[in-house]
């Protein structure tokens, strides 16, 4: 079902109840969870996330009629420090195994960077065969965990990551060949300032290559102004009309997730995205009236 969701971290609150209440107050039906909102690390050591805690989180969602669209499990999948990479891969596998207790169908990953401080920042060694091999090794542990848990892993092409383009994402899917590895489509992350004049062609290529494997669509705008790195949806440079048109043409039927949106800009972003969903996905779910 196509419906609007949002990253939980868009609402800075002291506890998860406050975050989920804010999601409801904004008329949003689904949420991408991050355990940091529940006072934990995004990818905690398994001993710090009990079955009871998972049940409590799921109960908090159910009580508010919210859907858990996804769970963030981002860490540096090609961390240049092997010991750190192995530790975080083990943690992530443990979190994936807990995902069914949270009622989460999709666990999102970061394919990572060789940059030792910032997993989102480009490093020349990201393009090396060794980085690609390390990504395969990491997924070699995570994909079986997802298959066993019955959940899907989502990877997102990001300019600063080893999987930095739609073509590389297609290559990875073809090499791994698992129905439990899919794509998080973020139109803004496919673009650079230099590629903006060719935006339509870049978006078309991405959906042509990846459309049938898209498990989640992000509604994040492209910030061309460094002074405003997190513009409200519809105020940046992304051609959302073309973006959603292509998503609909590919028969996408899942959540559309807002993120990188300051709380003050959430209402206008929701209105903007909802209007476009009504145009391109006539059957999109209406917000529940509360």
Q: What's the confidence (pLDDT) of residue 224?
A: 78
Domains of the chain, first to last: 3-280 (3.20.20.150)
Cα separation values, 166 from 189, 201, 209, Å:
10, 12, 7
66-94 pLDDT tens trace: 999 999 999 999 999 999 999 999 999 99
Taking alpha carbons only, the member of 67, 7, 66 closest to residue 42 is 7
Q: What is the mean pLDDT of residues 222-234?
A: 86
Q: What's the confidence (pLDDT) of residue 285?
A: 60
Query: Rounded CA gap, 116 and 230, in Å?
Result: 25
Q: Which long-range contacts (CB under 8 A, 24 or more apart) does 41-45 make?
A: 42/72, 42/73, 42/74, 42/75, 43/73, 43/74, 43/75, 43/88, 43/91, 43/92, 43/95, 44/91, 44/95, 45/91, 45/94
Enter the tokens of residue 271: 């209105």
Query: Rounded CA gap, 212 and 225, in Å?
Result: 33
Q: What is the mean pLDDT of residues 145-157?
A: 98
Q: What's the confidence (pLDDT) of residue 58?
A: 97
Query: What's the whole-number average pLDDT of the chain?
Result: 95
Residue 202 reports pLDDT greater than 90: yes
Q: What is the mean pLDDT of residues 241-266?
A: 96
Specify the pairing of strand 106-108 against strand 30-33.
Answer: unpaired
Cβ-in-10-Å burial (0-12, 13-18, 19+) of 97 comes to middle
Q: Which residue has the higher pLDDT, 28 or 225?
A: 28
Beta carbons of 57 and 17 less than 8 angstroms apart: no
Q: What's the confidence (pLDDT) of residue 286?
A: 57
Q: What is the mean pLDDT of residues 105-110?
A: 98
Phi, psi of 257 (to 5 degrees): -105, 120
Q: What is the mean pLDDT of residues 18-41?
A: 97
Question: What H or E segment, with its residue span, contains residue 218?
Answer: strand 214-218
Strand partners of residue 160: none
Give per-residue burial for 67-76: e unless 16+ CB within 10 Å, then b: bbbbbbbbbb
pLDDT band at 226 (very low <50, low <70, confident <90, very high): confident
Residue 5 reports pLDDT greater than 50: yes
């Amino acid at each position: 079902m196509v419906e609007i969701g949002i990253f939980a971290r868009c609402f800075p609150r002291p506890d998860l109840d406050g975050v989920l209440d804010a999601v409801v107050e904004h008329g949003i039906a689904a949420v991408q969870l991050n355990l940091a909102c529940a006072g934990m690390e995004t990818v905690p050591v398994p001993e710090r996330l009990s079955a009871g805690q998972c049940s409590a989180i799921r109960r908090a969602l159910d009580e508010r009629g919210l859907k858990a669209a996804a769970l963030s499990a981002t860490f540096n999948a090609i961390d240049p420090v092997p010991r750190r990479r192995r530790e975080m891969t083990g943690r992530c596998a443990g979190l994936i195994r807990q995902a069914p207790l949270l009622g989460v169908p999709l666990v999102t990953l970061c394919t990572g960077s060789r940059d030792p401080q910032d997993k989102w920042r480009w490093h020349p060694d990201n393009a090396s065969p060794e980085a690609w091999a390390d990504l395969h090794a990491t997924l070699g542990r995570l994909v079986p965990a997802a298959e066993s848990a019955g959940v899907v892993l989502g990877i997102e092409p990001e300019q600063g990551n080893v999987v930095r383009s739609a073509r590389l994402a297609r290559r990875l899917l073809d090499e791994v060949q698992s129905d439990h590895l899919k794509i998080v489509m973020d139109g803004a992350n496919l673009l650079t300032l230099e590629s903006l004049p060719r935006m339509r062609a870049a978006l078309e290529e991405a959906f042509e290559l990846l459309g049938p494997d898209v498990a989640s669509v992000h509604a994040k705008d492209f910030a061309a102004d460094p002074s405003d790195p997190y513009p409200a949806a519809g105020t940046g440079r992304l051609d959302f009309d073309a973006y959603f048109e292509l998503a609909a043409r590919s028969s996408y039927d899942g959540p559309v997730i807002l993120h990188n949106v300051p709380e003050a800009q959430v209402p206008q972003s929701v209105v903007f995205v909802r209007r476009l969903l009504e145009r391109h996905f006539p059957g999109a779910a209406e917000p529940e009236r509360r």
